[in-house]
Structure 1
Amino acid sequence: MIEVLVVDDDTRVARVNAAYVDRVPGFRVAGLAHSAEGALRRMEAPPRPDLVLLDHHLPDDTGLAVVQEMHRRGLQIDVIMVTAARDLTTVRAALRQGVLQYLVKPFSFAGLRDKLEGYADLRRALDRGGTAEQSEVDLIFGSPTAGAVPGPPPGHSPPTAELVRRALLNAEDSLSAQEVAAETGLSRQTAQRYLKILERSGKAVLTLRYGDAGRPEHRYAWAARG
């Protein structure tokens, strides 16, 4: 279970974001904080969070100042900025300070869910250990390899799209959403959503397989082989 600290100066927004987090399988809210000082204090208290959803505009300091202080204290906690700050100076500074993702307010549940699912994919890739091929390095750094799914729709995760692409590309036969989910570790719903994106973009081919129950099973195969 991935423990998440939600930091926002607006208590109502913090509660909404926390409710969103609790709706995503594999994630759990570890706590809420409404200031920079409160966020840092909570990060050092057990159980320590794995991930922080961090607002930039806090009453006593900025979110980026919190990230800097985390580094100074040696806190190994990942950060996704969740903020209305959209100026490129702030975005660039967040990138340079190691913030993993940046989600601009206002956003929907689907937008946050896909950021979290992309983060979970990243953790799985890193936790496998051993050595990595270039495609796996690109997955970790969030840039799909050549031939990967270009430009997923806004709110969708390139690492997740790449996982689904690789599952189809490596399969000897067409796969159902359930089989893709088992292969990638994604939920069936997530696998189905990305398979539909691939099929609509012409990257995957949809076929129907009829069984005894009468209702056809949707199966997908990678279209761009060779």
Structure 2
Amino acid sequence: MTDSKTIGVLVVEDEEIPAEAHAEYVRRIPGFRLAGIARTGTEAITALKVDAAPGSGPGSGSGSGSNTGSDAGQGIDLVLLDMNLPDLHGLDLLRRIRGAGLPVDVIAITAVRDLAVVRGAMSGGIVGYLIKPFTFSAFSTKLTTYAEYRRRMGEQAASTTQSEVDSAFAALRPTVATPLPKGMSGETLEAVADLLKRAPSPLSASEVSAELAMSRITARRYLEHLAEEQSVLRSPRYGTRGRPELEYSWRW
């Protein structure tokens, strides 16, 4: 683990588009930097062991993850862990990380909703669990609350108090969730996001409304909200009569 002011993040994700999207999300959040991308559990554990080896700190050129776009040699502090990897289940990788005594925190970022997996991840010491699909806002909130937790833990002396420990853990559980605009529901937003993620091509508000049995105006409102959150790419659809219709695609 590095003592630098920025938090180094290793993205562990086997699918190329989500991996690059998560990497780009990390780059956009102040105080964080991309330390690397691992596409398999084996790549991840190798990157972490190299990072933890003596002499692999800042400037050594050996502390980064396995893929491009990282800040080499600056250390890994946080792992964003997908549960569905081609060679290892995420829980198995989490156990190996803990068994090796590697000094990193882990946030699970996955589509897995199985309660047994969630419990296993929690018992393995994760500091967060983010279910796909999600907006950039949700991703940013998860990482910034982790940064606050890390800051509070770093301020404590070698011997701490119960109130200081409680304060640090409270940072991981913000009491006020990011509110949706009035009249919008989290369930409907999740349904729209999931539809866009599964769609093989961009969808218009009319197409979303037909798929989800809602009004076009309602569909457009949710789509625009996702676009403002920068989770959805909005672009004009040409080739239709009159004004170009807008179409929306999930960024990853």
Distance (whole Å) between structure 2 residues aligned to residue 32 and residue 112 of structure 1: 17
Residue 72 of structure 1 deviates from its aligned partner by 1.7
Summarize the alignment of residues 73-88 of structure 1 with structure 2, pairs less than 5 Å apart: 73-88=100-115
Counterparts in 2 of 1:90 and 1:144: CA distance versus 1, 3 Å: closer
Contact 1:115 1:155 in 2 (8 A): no
Contact 1:51 1:79 in 2 (8 A): yes
Contact 2:127 2:172 in 1 (8 A): no
Residue 17 of structure 1 deviates from its aligned partner by 0.4
Identity of aligned residues (%): 41
Q: 1:50 aligns with which of 70, 73, 77?
A: 77
Distance (whole Å) between structure 2 residues aligned to residue 35 and residue 135 of structure 1: 39
1:141 aligns with 2:169: yes
Residue 137 of structure 1 deviates from its aligned partner by 2.3
Residue 57 of structure 1 deviates from its aligned partner by 0.3
Counterparts in 2 of 1:106 and 1:144: CA distance versus 1, 3 Å: closer
Counterpart secondary structure, 1:141: helix
Q: Which residue is equivalent to 1:100?
A: 127
What is the letter of the counterpart of residue 138 of structure 1? D
Distance (whole Å) between structure 1 residues aligned to residue 179 and residue 89 of structure 2: 25
Distance (whole Å) between structure 2 residues aligned to residue 155 and residue 92 of structure 1: 27
Counterpart secondary structure, 2:134: coil
Q: 1:112 aligns with which of 126, 139, 147?
A: 139
Deviations 1:119-146 (A, max 9, x none): 110111011123655543222223799x
Cα RMSD after superposing both structures? 2.3
Provide the aligned length of Structure 1 versus Structure 2: 152
Q: Which residue is equivalent to 2:176?
A: 152
Counterparts in 2 of 1:144 and 1:21: CA distance versus 1, 3 Å: closer
Contact 2:146 2:171 in 1 (8 A): no
Deviations 1:42-69 (A, max 9, x none): 1122133100000000000111111101
Counterparts in 2 of 1:61 and 1:127: CA distance versus 1, 3 Å: same
Asked which structure has the greater RCO (Cα within 8 Å, sep 6+), the reply is 2
Summarize the alignment of residues 135-214 of structure 1 with structure 2, pairs less than 5 Å apart: 135-142=163-170, 151-153=175-177
Q: Could you tell me the TM-score, scaled by structure 2's length?
A: 0.56
Q: 1:3 aligns with which of 3, 8, 28?
A: 8
Distance (whole Å) between structure 1 residues aligned to residue 18 and residue 172 of structure 2: 33
Gaps of 5+ in 2: 1-5, 51-62, 64-72, 181-252
Distance (whole Å) between structure 1 residues aligned to residue 94 and residue 172 of structure 2: 27
Distance (whole Å) between structure 2 residues aligned to residue 141 and residue 104 of structure 1: 20
Distance (whole Å) between structure 2 residues aligned to residue 135 and residue 155 of structure 1: 28
Q: 1:17 aligns with which of 19, 22, 25?
A: 22
Q: Could you tell me the TM-score, scaled by structure 1's length?
A: 0.62
What is the letter of the counterpart of residue 44 of structure 2? A
Distance (whole Å) between structure 1 residues aligned to residue 89 and residue 47 of structure 2: 16
Contact 2:110 2:130 in 1 (8 A): yes
Counterpart secondary structure, 1:44: helix
Q: Which residue is equivalent to 1:39?
A: 44
